Structure 1
């Protein structure tokens, strides 16, 4: 278990997990899902698909955003009633600034028999929590969000077998303001130096949660790649539409961005793995088809996962 992609449970995020389930299983990657929609059929289907492929999944049962931020009773019922015996469904407990030690302990007690993943994201009572869970074998993972759980905080959980560092590699800007290419992350190379046994990110979506996107003045395809010329650091390219001044014609703007991607794939500078997502981008270009921006984001997320899968297959010592 090396990589833990962190998803918000919107439609295309869940579809990404389902379509990537064979890759996740083969690579022993573990997706983390923070459900945000009260309609649970998509999440339930995603859990089922993941289990069918033999992969594990972490489901956060106390989301801080979205439809469950007020009440999570239906989410608790889904996990306990439908997946009470499924060991590969790991219960994620989000520990942020508003979480009390009593609340955290109550959630852990509610899911007796399940493995637990603690997601440390601004929680302050680390010493007391570490004492409270000492000897509790159900606590299988600690995921530390970078910038919200410092090294002294993490020291209290140093005896846990699986410790994961979560870092957001995506710089939030208007699409028009992105440079053509920039560094995304080196965490896949340095997580061991950070004292952790695995790493996590918010893919090429970023931590900034929005219910829905605004009008697309600039359409961009955000695609990560491993830069072999720079110590295998992960970079990201932003293939942007030429037109950026009005919110009209997203299909035409997507065609402009896609043409830049296809041109780059044929250039000497291309370092992209030929993932299934890249193959589909080529097909969309050949057909002149615009599938919608949610679908484009799904392809970029799949590519991100497949890139790490290919990299670790090629570099098993990492």
Structure 2
């Protein structure tokens, strides 16, 4: 089973919502870490209830403004807890190991949200809080990196890694256009884990807002000949960076030039088809949409691999 951790920004949320409604998330249980109190978050949570499919929702996010916005927006707060209560069996609580862990557990219980078999994301620097949390008997699985696996001896463990190598500038991805991403999907069970987890093609680093890029990079996952997963970085050519559409088309053309000449097959997915349709139709959907499609491609690719 695959447990991708996705920060609850608009494009990540819409990506998983569209995939779940299309029935394309088999053997994938997303872990949503809210970063903003938005209607998109609520609609995405509702999608899992409607589709009767599981996901985890982080109750104490480590990044973003969600906790603060929840406190100052009572209407949203009421709607959020209502969805969590109605989502029993599908929306499962997840907690970061942090200073406020036990307080967060009690807050969830006060809102009458069931936390039996909740998930916990291990943090070595907060080890004392992790041991305290285990005594609460609230947790069914632990997302943990391999070096710390002995800290969760009595729990089902999910192998957590952060394999995406982020670059300071998009243009820097040209230096190594194809990189090993992971082979955890092949070996996690042999190593005693019930699943594996990562931060998709976004990585664990988080920042508020964005900036105008001087180059566009599209990150597309593919299965290597040896069965492991690699990521290809399709980067735009050196062009006028003030024209985002021109940069996007350049990266898109480079992507499909690579796809069509590949020795190893790039799996056909809904997200990849959306990218190709954009190229064929000459439309510029915005860079956020392109990011959404590449995330969808990655998640559907894993879903297909796990379903075999």
1: CA distance between counterparts of 2:248 and 2:185? 30
Give TM-score, length-normalised by structure 1.
0.85
Cα pair 1:61 1:72 within 8 Å, conserved: no
Q: CA deviation at 1:311?
A: 1.3
Please list, as runs of the form range in 1=range in 2, the aligned pairs for 1:1-318 lying within 5 A after superposition. Answer: 2-22=1-21, 27-39=26-38, 41-70=39-68, 72-73=70-71, 77-85=78-86, 86-96=88-98, 99=99, 102-103=102-103, 105-107=105-107, 109-110=109-110, 113-115=114-116, 116-122=118-124, 123-125=126-128, 126-130=130-134, 132-133=135-136, 136=137, 138-144=138-144, 146=145, 150-151=147-148, 154-160=149-155, 162-173=156-167, 174-178=169-173, 179-227=176-224, 229=225, 231-243=226-238, 247-314=241-308
Structure 1 24/211 Cα, relative in aligned 2: closer, same or farther at 3 Å?
Answer: farther
Q: CA deviation at 1:124?
A: 1.4
2: CA distance between counterparts of 1:258 and 1:308? 22
> Secondary structure at the residue paired with 2:186?
helix
Give TM-score, length-normalised by structure 2.
0.88
Cα pair 2:271 2:296 within 8 Å, conserved: yes
Structure 1 313/28 Cα, relative in aligned 2: closer, same or farther at 3 Å?
Answer: closer
Structure with the greater relative contact order (CA < 8 A, sep ≥ 6): 1 or 2? 2
Cα pair 1:170 1:184 within 8 Å, conserved: yes
Q: How many residue pairs were aligned?
A: 297
Q: CA deviation at 1:100?
A: 5.0
2: CA distance between counterparts of 1:108 and 1:163? 23
Q: CA RMSD in A?
A: 2.3
The unaligned stretches of length 5 or more in structure 2 are none
Q: CA deviation at 1:83?
A: 3.0
The unaligned stretches of length 5 or more in structure 1 are none
